[in-house]
Structure 1
Amino acid sequence: MADENQGPMNGVTAHLTIGEGKAIDAIAFYEKAFGATRAMEPHMADDGKRVMHAHLQINGGSVMLNDDFPEYTGGALGTPAGVTLHLQVDDADAWFNRAVEAGAQVRMPLDDQFWGDRYGQVDDPFGHRWSIGSAVRA
């Protein structure tokens, strides 16, 4: 039997690297902006300052994250590019506004889109892009 703290066993799970030793700040931001809950408490590195592994639940899915460890990885590659984390939610306006109030920057204003969703994008303070959408209400 798998350990209940092992984490997701199927699907695709985002695993974010947070620069500048700010993973604890990122966890707090995701809790406030996206209603994240901790699937487990963060595992700290021996230095007691950096997160080696954290597992969050956001909108029914998993997101894992850690601080960058440049002594092992050569350093994060800078601002992430080419990746957007999407949240399909029940109320895009509520989720979008909560993220902006928590400090996310609007990249694409929330609006009704041609494909039938109310959709917009924000950038979190750690360089990750998020899209938020829900079906357009009749």
Structure 2
Amino acid sequence: MTSTTDAAPEARGGVVPYLQVDGAVKAAAFYVRAFGAEEVARHPVDEQGRTMHVHLYLNGGSLMLSDAYPEHGYPLQAPQAFSLMLPVDDIDAWWDRAVAAGAEVVTPLQVMFWGDRYGQLRDPFGVSWAMNAPVKG
């Protein structure tokens, strides 16, 4: 992990999700356990335990997190109408690790009509995660 005085880590991916959650440091720790993320940067927490920035590498891309700061115009709002897609090869290993870490199954892992194995989970912070893998063979 880098500190705020180190050079900023590279942002990976064509679109970088930046999630505002209740407990960015706890969410980052969950994503490390559940999805094998690597924390590469974090701003220090304030006196209320909030941080304005955590940068993770996850599945070849970047994911950034922050806490809500309603006093600065950034109130916490429940996630809605989106999911984060994880295209993976070993979907069973990814799925089992996430469920063991505490992700809630929303759509069970199954072969879908388009021919891939797919399922959806919800993490303890309300974010929906989809996993997709081609069926081999």
Decide: shared fold, TM above 0.5: yes
Which residue does 1:116 correspond to in 2?
A: 115
Residue 64 of structure 1 aligns to a residue whose secondary structure is strand
Give the number of the structure whose residues are more often strand, by fraction.
Answer: 1
Shift of 1:46: 3.8
Residue 26 of structure 1 aligns to which amino acid in structure 2?
Answer: A
Residue 64 of structure 1 aligns to which amino acid in structure 2?
Answer: M
Can you give the 5+ residue segments of structure 2 that lack an aligned partner in the other structure? Answer: 1-5
Residue 12 of structure 1 aligns to which amino acid in structure 2?
Answer: V
The verdict on how the C-alpha distance between 1:74 and 1:14 changes in structure 2, with shifts beyond 3 A counting, is closer
Report 1:88-103 matches (<5 A). Answer: 88-103=87-102
Q: TM-score, normalised by structure 2?
A: 0.89
Q: TM-score, normalised by structure 1?
A: 0.88
Which residue does 1:105 correspond to in 2?
A: 104
Report 1:1-138 matches (<5 A). Answer: 5-8=8-11, 11-19=14-22, 22-40=23-41, 42-47=42-47, 49-73=49-73, 75-77=75-77, 79-138=78-137
| Identical counterparts, % of pairs | 46
Residue 71 of structure 2 aligns to which amino acid in structure 1?
Answer: E
Shift of 1:49: 1.5
Tell me the number of residue pairs that the alignment of Structure 1 and Structure 2 aligns: 132
Shift of 1:34: 0.2
Deviations 1:43-68 (A, max 9, x none): 02442621110100001010000111
Q: 2 CA distance for matches of 1:111 and 1:34? A: 19
Can you give the 5+ residue segments of structure 1 that lack an aligned partner in the other structure? Answer: none
Is the 8 Å Cα contact of residues 110 and 121 (structure 1) preserved in structure 2? yes
Q: 1 CA distance for matches of 2:120 and 2:12? A: 28
